[in-house]
């Protein structure tokens, strides 16, 4: 699918999801055959002509200015991530010449140093498509303990977090609210797809997931966009039981990102994470539970890198 049709699909889908009462458009009690705003209503809210907006939605215009995109984003009530996605799609329309394929992804020195610094927290290094490029011991144990710990070292065998979330039963069972995790994964992939419209491996992944998982296909068609930065998840780990973690994406510029999981000090979740650390390092349990004033230190985990 090219950038032009993705832009049109996005505009059409988001317009259909916006109810007239959400934006103060009077309907005078009329019954509508289709949900959402009409094109002329959206165009009026954005301050553009109906014919021009129609051409944009049908992919017949490649000249939308930043001012017009801002107006349409405001009319559609887009948040910051969704606005960035809209601009990326419009940029892909204007640059229709074939660009170079993205270079193979590797763990950068900065990402490696950050992974080392997070020795006491579960952490993984992810590429733009969600491929696991590296993880520390706790990251492997928390997110994918059923997989080979050396898998990220081999590009052809690297786990992919989107595949795990949608196609792997172990990963699906980890998340109490699996639908929330699934929506976050799909929303982030939409942002990436707009940023890298010429990435064949990414589009192969999207095609595979759409063809093999109906839930992914439905979420992808919904055109929801979400940047995965900070999110709280309840997890059910097979070794240490329930725990609540905050997953944070730590970006240090272009390239792979580091995702770390943290828990509240002194909480049952922190105790569960400490037990998990003891399980993977072979240390014995302490005489008393950890408290904020007497933190428990675990051994430095082995880091697996590409």
89 shares its domain with 123? no
Which uninterrupted H or E stretch holds 252? Answer: none
135 shares its domain with 281? yes
Is residue 99, in this structure, part of any structural domain at all? no
CA-to-CA dists, residue 101 to 196, 200, 255, angstroms = 9, 8, 15
Is residue 138, in this structure, part of any structural domain at all? yes
Q: Which of 33, 62, 94 is the C-terminal boundary of a domain?
A: 94
Confidence of residue 139 (pLDDT cuts 50, 70, 90): very high
The count of residues in the chain is 306
Is residue 101, in this structure, part of any structural domain at all? no
278 shares its domain with 147? yes
Q: Look at residue 306 in the predicted model and tell me its pLDDT.
A: 47
Are 264 and 254 spatial neighbours (Cβ–Cβ below 8 Å)? no
Average model confidence (pLDDT) for the chain?
Answer: 84
Residue 288 has pLDDT above 50, yes or no: no
Q: Look at residue 236 in the predicted model and tell me its pLDDT.
A: 97
Q: Look at residue 164 in the predicted model and tell me its pLDDT.
A: 97
Instruction: State the Cα–Cα distance between residues 42 and 16, nearest whole angstrom.
Output: 10
The domain that contains 51 carries what CATH number?
1.10.260.40
Q: For 184-189, what is the mean pLDDT?
A: 94
Are 81 and 184 spatial neighbours (Cβ–Cβ below 8 Å)? no
Are 280 and 272 spatial neighbours (Cβ–Cβ below 8 Å)? no
Give me the half-sphere count of Cα atoms (radius 13 Å) on the Cβ side of residue 29: 0
SS3 111: helix
Instruction: State the Cα–Cα distance between residues 306 and 157, nearest whole angstrom.
Output: 11
In 155-240, the DSSP E strands lie at 230-237
Q: Which of 43, 60, 94 is the C-terminal boundary of a domain?
A: 94
More confident residue, 249 or 252: 249
87 shares its domain with 187? no
Domains: count for the chain: 2
Q: Look at residue 101 in the predicted model and tell me its pLDDT.
A: 64
Is residue 132, in this structure, part of any structural domain at all? yes
Q: What percent of the chain has pLDDT over 90?
A: 49
- Cα of 165 vs its chain's centroid, Å: 11
Q: Look at residue 284 in the predicted model and tell me its pLDDT.
A: 54
Query: Which one of 87-96, 209-218, 221-230 scores highest in mean pLDDT?
Result: 209-218
Is residue 304, in this structure, part of any structural domain at all? no
Structural domain for 130, as ranges:
109-294
The domain that contains 154 carries what CATH number?
3.30.450.180
Is residue 301, in this structure, part of any structural domain at all? no
117 shares its domain with 90? no
Confidence of residue 283 (pLDDT cuts 50, 70, 90): low
115 shares its domain with 77? no
Confidence of residue 28 (pLDDT cuts 50, 70, 90): low
34 shares its domain with 151? no
119 shares its domain with 224? yes
Q: Look at residue 100 in the predicted model and tell me its pLDDT.
A: 58
Residue 115 has pLDDT above 60, yes or no: yes
Tokens of 166: 């949608």
More confident residue, 90 or 33: 90
Is residue 300, in this structure, part of any structural domain at all? no
Q: Look at residue 242 in the predicted model and tell me its pLDDT.
A: 97
Is residue 104, in this structure, part of any structural domain at all? no
195 shares its domain with 289? yes
Question: Rounded to two decimals, what is the model's pTM?
Answer: 0.78
Are 273 and 243 spatial neighbours (Cβ–Cβ below 8 Å)? yes
179 shares its domain with 285? yes
Residue 84 has pLDDT above 50, yes or no: yes
Kindly report, residue by residue over 166-176, the tens digit of the pLDDT.
999 999 999 99
CA nearest neighbour of 301 among 127, 47, 122: 122
59 shares its domain with 174? no
Kindly report, residue by residue over 140-165, the tens digit of the pLDDT.
999 999 999 999 999 889 999 999 99
Confidence of residue 300 (pLDDT cuts 50, 70, 90): very low
Cβ contacts of 164-167, under 8 Å, gap ≥ 24: 166/209, 166/213, 166/215, 166/216, 167/209, 167/212, 167/213
Kindly report, residue by residue over 194-225, the tens digit of the pLDDT.
888 888 999 999 999 999 999 999 999 988 88
Kindly report, residue by residue over 36-83, the tens digit of the pLDDT.
888 998 999 999 999 999 988 887 776 788 899 999 999 999 988 889
70 shares its domain with 150? no
Q: Which of 50, 66, 94 is the C-terminal boundary of a domain?
A: 94
């Amino acid at each position: 699918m090219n950038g032009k049709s993705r832009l049109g699909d996005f505009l059409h889908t988001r317009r259909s999801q916006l109810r007239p009462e959400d934006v103060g458009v009077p309907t005078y009690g009329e019954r509508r055959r289709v949900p959402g705003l009409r094109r002329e209503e959206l165009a009026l809210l954005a301050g553009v002509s109906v014919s021009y907006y129609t051409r944009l939605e049908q992919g017949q215009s490649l000249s939308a200015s930043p001012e017009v995109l801002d107006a349409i984003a405001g009319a559609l009530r887009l948040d910051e991530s969704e606005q960035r996605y809209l601009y990326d799609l419009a940029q892909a329309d204007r640059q229709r010449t074939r660009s170079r394929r993205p270079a193979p992804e590797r763990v950068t020195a900065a990402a490696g140093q950050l992974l080392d610094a997070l020795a006491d927290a579960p952490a993984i290094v992810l590429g733009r498509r969600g491929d696991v490029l590296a993880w520390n011991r706790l990251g492997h144990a928390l997110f994918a303990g059923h997989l080979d710990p050396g898998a990220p070292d081999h590009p052809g065998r690297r786990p992919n977090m989107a595949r795990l979330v949608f196609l792997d039963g172990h990963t699906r069972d980890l998340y109490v609210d699996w639908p929330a995790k699934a929506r976050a994964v799909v929303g982030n992939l939409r942002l990436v797809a707009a940023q890298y419209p010429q990435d064949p491996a990414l589009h192969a992944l999207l095609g595979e997931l759409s063809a093999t998982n109906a839930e992914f296909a439905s979420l992808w068609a919904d055109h929801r966009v979400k940047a995965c930065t900070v999110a709280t998840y309840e997890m059910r780990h097979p070794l240490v039981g329930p725990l609540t973690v905050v997953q944070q994406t730590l970006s240090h510029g272009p390239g792979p990102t580091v995702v770390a999981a943290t828990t509240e000090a002194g909480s049952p979740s922190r105790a569960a994470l400490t037990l998990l650390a003891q399980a993977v390092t072979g240390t014995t349990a302490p005489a008393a539970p950890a408290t904020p004033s007497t933190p428990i230190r675990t051994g430095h985990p082995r880091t697996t890198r590409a």
